[in-house]
Amino acid sequence: MCEDDYEVPSPHEEAVDKAAEREHDREPDGFVQKIALMTAVLSTVGALINYQSGSSQTEAMFLKNASILKQSEASDQWAYYQAKSTKGHIAEATAALASDPGVKAQFLAEKAKDDKEKLEIQAEAKKLQAAAHKLGDDAEAKIKPHELLALALTFIQIAVALAAITVLTRRRWLIWGSIGSAAIGIIAAAITLF
């Protein structure tokens, strides 16, 4: 017998052969491609959810600022109302103290004019205050979808991360966590949008 008839593999050759067998036994590339496609779709859905969430938040901030502006205008009207009221009280007190009937009539006429203007100012202040409250309520209504959309986006991001971990570790069971997280995110977004 010749030396070449018997080949004794080295430990290194055995390790290389076993690694090649494990590589061959791994999931086919179709599995990886499906996860890559799922990740791309989830990233697109996440981008759309993020856009809608940002839009909702921006609109809520705009409405809240408008509400604050209207409340400021209402406060100005109430301050003007108070000034007219004070002026009317002064005119009334001056008329009561006046001994000259002409002066007394002048101050009473001024008080009557101030009382009429006070009613107009009060109506405007109430209108501005109601508008401020409505804008504030609208802002609150717009921020609620933003919160739910942010939660939906979080679940979509978790799904993408789990899909990546699935590909890297080749642990097929992780894909179910990714699918579940994606489903929760999509349902939360759908509830908000529809």
Question: For residue 10, is it within any domain?
Answer: no
Residue pLDDT, tens place only, 13-23 = 677 677 666 66
Instruction: Please indicate, yes or no, if residue 98 is contained in any of the structural domains.
Output: yes
Q: In this predicted structure, what is the pLDDT of residue 147?
A: 86
Residue 25 placed within a domain: no
pTM: 0.65
Closest CA to 159 of 31, 38, 47, 44: 38
What is the tens place of the pLDDT at every residue in 80-105?
A: 889 888 888 888 888 888 788 888 88
List pLDDT tens digits, range 34-77: 898 999 999 999 999 999 998 889 999 999 999 999 999 999 99
Task: Give the structural domain span for 175.
Answer: 30-193
